[in-house]
A and B are shown apart, each in its own frame.
Chain A
Amino acid sequence: MNIASFAPLAVVLPILGAALTFMLIRHSRAQQAVSIGLLSLTLLLECLLLAHVWDGGTVAVTIGGWLPPWGIVMVVDQFSSLMLVVSSAVSLAVLVYATGQGMADGDHDAPVSIFHPTYLILVAGVSNAFLSGDLFNLYVGFEILLTASYVLMTLGGTGPRIRAGVTYVVVSVVSSVLFLISIAMVYGATGTVTMADLALKLGELDQGTRTLLHVMLLVAFGIKAAVFPLSFWLPDSYPTAPAPVTAVFAGLLTKVGVYAMVRTETLLFPGDSLNTPLMVAALLTMVVGILGALAQSDIKRLLSFTLVSHIGYMVFGLAMSSVAGLGAAVFYVAHHITIQTSLFLVTGLIERRGGSSSVDRLGGLAKLSPLLALLFFIPGMNLAGIPPFSGFLGKVGLMQAGIELGTPLAYALVIGGVLTSLLTLLAVARVWNRAFWRRPSDAEHPDPVLLAEPDEDAQADGQVQGEARQDGGARRTGTLLTSRTSATRSATLLPRTMVGSTLGLVALGVALTVFAGPLFGLSDRAAEDMLDRTPYIQAVMGGDTVVPPVRTAGGGQ
């Protein structure tokens, strides 16, 4: 009985937490304690799982003792456990942030108390999707997280959120129906929905049926992952949700789609049959996404577009179906979850401090709140891929793999990737210049909050820097008074828990840079195992299963 047998707890604990917090709906303190406690416990368990499979080895847990081709299995390998750890760490940070926001705004109203149970259900759905070794169970995981996300997206029920929610729900339901149709077809063709068994049986089908099933699954996951022609719902629906909700959606939901695509490409349909269309889709996702980002003036919308754009990098790594490319893609997914979430959290802080998330209305934030500027600057540069950061390392990994592959299309993608990276830098730098660097009075429509405060804050700064400016006695008392009021005000504007959790997430992003070596080793081993398929299939179907060789049309692995 090893630690991996406890893998289902990663799903069960959050659901248990959801039930408990639902019962404690009138006691917000207890709710917070329960949800943060249980999520921390889940994170701890997932860290142990990751440690268990760190050096290799895939563990399958059969639920209820039903053996694989019939029963439901959960599979822990390096990729799924890495995703679990990163996603839980991110969702824990967002939960703390949301709790801080709730406490700062002093809500005792009903709709927000539903937040904790729904959020935990979302986490359970994400864990279920990552762990699932069964296509239908993957669908159920998707549905759990989507249904929770519908509620979170429309939290509060204001006009814009309902409008965005309608688009989001309809698109998600259509993609789920597509997924269900493809499951039905897969079942009709092979008679099984266990992924390891499918990996064996799908290979025996003729090429036409295989391609049909493959395309249907990819389209269904492509909608969820927001790959180019299917990505237009995302920037439309994400920005209106509350900041923590957008942050967790941006970090996790699209990555679950990417995860499912990776499993489809490596386990179910190995080889390079659809690599060319995938590469074209990746290129278009990158370029179209980032061009959309450049047109935006609202930071949340801009970040939603960069989110779409950077999905392209992951699809690029996946489409190369080489160990180097897939390994870099795995690393990039982990990096991007952390960075994108922290950027959305910082945007939430900017909105609190500056009164708006539109760059036309912001200005001078670097002087008003240097910490906020730092919190934006680090993940911003990380997203753009400036050298010391993990974004750079991930992109370099992808470029290397692309050049190794050496086809004209791969070179086009490498060039597109560099271009996208530069344009991301431009988009982030524009936000930086306008929201942080210029004087508030230079903004097109400066927010009153920013215009009102320079005097007070200048005095507060003087207070911090020393007594230099406090020469006159009368002026000194006045300064002290105003600085105190401005201090209490900025405390409610930027509550310590919110800044702290954002800081934690930014630190995690930096840690990904510092420990990039071991992480790259891990993701390369994960990529090797996924492309080999033998460890996964033998872990589920038994050690003596013969894994058929992958049919490739040439190139590839």
Chain B
Amino acid sequence: MSVNLTLLIIMGALYACGIYLILERSLTRVLLGLMLLANATNLLILATGGYAGLAPLYSKDIAAEDYNDPLPQALILTSIVISFAVTAFMLGIIYRTWVLARRDEIQDDVEDLRVAETPSFDAEDDAEIPAETSEFPLTMLGGDGRDISDHRPSGDGGRAAGTATLVAGGREMPAEDAAAEEKPGSRNVEPGPEEGGK
């Protein structure tokens, strides 16, 4: 079985360029890369058909070895149609990306980044609670969110009672608010900007 060396070299070049292009972040280049890969594969299939021969139209006078193998050509035809459809679809998607984001680049997955940036400790369980590190009895909240701490005046004078403040996040705030903020599901924390699902 003899093969056409020129076709093989072209095929190799197409594969190399195609693989280089699909590693790019720009969508148009990725599309071009995919097209090159598809065409290189078509050449590969053509090469598997073996030597060039006559068109496979049956005639009694021609020996069986003189015909070309028709099957690879049928396969190539199918593969061309498929890659045509995929290219058209990719162009549609690229256009849509351009319309939506004004960028010809693959966008990052927001949820993926969020999961990647989520720290390993759970704020609910692991965060240091400033209100509890104080040696003074501060405000305690009951199950219904009401203040149930006993406001007996402590030895140091009335600082801990009622209007006790503590430093949180670089500013001073009433201890009661700080304690409420530590409560899971607290409503004075703004919901995060991330969205679930859509």
Contact = CB atoms under 8 A, between A and B. Distances in A.
B27 A166 contact: yes
A130 to B, nearest CB: 19
Interface in B152-197: 184-185, 191-192, 194-197
Contact of A151 (B22, B27, B89): B89
B41 A187 contact: no
Interface string A121-145: 0000000000000001000100100
A433 to B, nearest CB: 13
B71 A187 contact: yes
Given A147-B85, A160-B110, A165-B93, 19 more contacts: A143-B82, A147-B86, A163-B106, A164-B109, A173-B34, A176-B82, A181-B44, A183-B75, A184-B41, A184-B47, A187-B72, A240-B198, A295-B115, A297-B196, A298-B196, A298-B197, A356-B196, A444-B184, A444-B185
A169 B47 contact: no
Interface stretch (B51-59, B95-103, B125-133): B95-103
Interface string A223-261: 000000000000010011000000000000000000000
A553 B115 CA distance: 45
Nearest to B89: A150
Contact of A358 (B47, B72, B97, B196): B196
B18 to A, nearest CB: 9
Nearest to B37: A177
B91 to A, nearest CB: 11
B48 A163 contact: no
B45 A170 contact: no
7 contacts: A160-B198, A173-B90, A176-B82, A184-B72, A297-B115, A298-B111, A358-B195
A358 B197 contact: yes
Interface in A192-238: 193, 236
Nearest to B78: A140
Interface string B24-66: 0001001000100110010011011000000000000000000
B197 A166 contact: no
Interface in A293-349: 295-298, 300-301
B197 A163 contact: no
Which of A158, A174, A295, A443 has the most chain B CB atoms inside 10 A of its CB?
A174
Contacts of B34: 170, 173-174, 177
Contact of A158 (B44, B71, B196, B198): B198
Contacts of B44: 181, 184-185
Which of B27, B79, B93 has the most chain A CB atoms inside 10 A of its CB?
B93
A463 interface: no
A408 interface: no
Given A180-B79, A295-B115, A442 B198 contact: no
A367 to B, nearest CB: 16
Contact of A361 (B86, B196, B198): B196
A457 interface: no
Interface residues on A, range: 35 or more
A167 B106 contact: yes
A408 B35 CA distance: 45
Given A154-B93, A162-B96, A147 B197 contact: no
A280 to B, nearest CB: 26
Contacts of A239: 111, 197
B134 interface: no
Interface of A: 136, 140, 143, 147, 150-151, 154, 157-160, 162-167, 169-170, 173-174, 176-177, 180-181, 183-185, 187-188, 193, 236, 239-240, 295-298, 300-301, 351, 356-358, 360-361, 441-446
Interface of A is mostly: helix
Which of B27, B90, B185 has the most chain A CB atoms inside 10 A of its CB?
B185
B48 A184 contact: yes
A244 to B, nearest CB: 14
B185 A442 contact: yes
Nearest 8 A-B pairs (CB), nearest first?
A358-B196, A188-B48, A356-B196, A445-B191, A357-B197, A184-B45, A163-B107, A442-B185
B135 interface: no
B106 A351 contact: no
Nearest to B75: A136
B161 to A, nearest CB: 29
A174 B191 CA distance: 40
Contacts of B71: 187, 193
B197 A356 contact: yes
A165 B103 CA distance: 16
Given A143-B82, A165-B93, A166-B97, A236 B112 contact: yes
A216 to B, nearest CB: 12
Contact of A169 (B89, B107, B109, B191): B89
Contacts of A143: 82
A162 B86 contact: no
A163 B100 CA distance: 10
A136 B76 CA distance: 11
Contacts of B47: 184, 188
A441 B112 CA distance: 26
Contacts of B37: 174, 177
Which of B41, B106, B196 has the most chain A CB atoms inside 10 A of its CB?
B196
Contacts of B82: 140, 143, 147, 176
Nearest to A169: B90
Contacts of B90: 169, 173
Contact of B89 (A147, A160, A236, A443): A147
Contact of B96 (A157, A185, A236, A301): A157
B192 A136 contact: no
Interface in B113-127: 115, 118, 124
Given A297-B115, A358-B196, A162 B45 contact: no
Nearest to A150: B89
B109 A236 contact: yes
Contacts of A445: 191-192
A162 B93 contact: yes
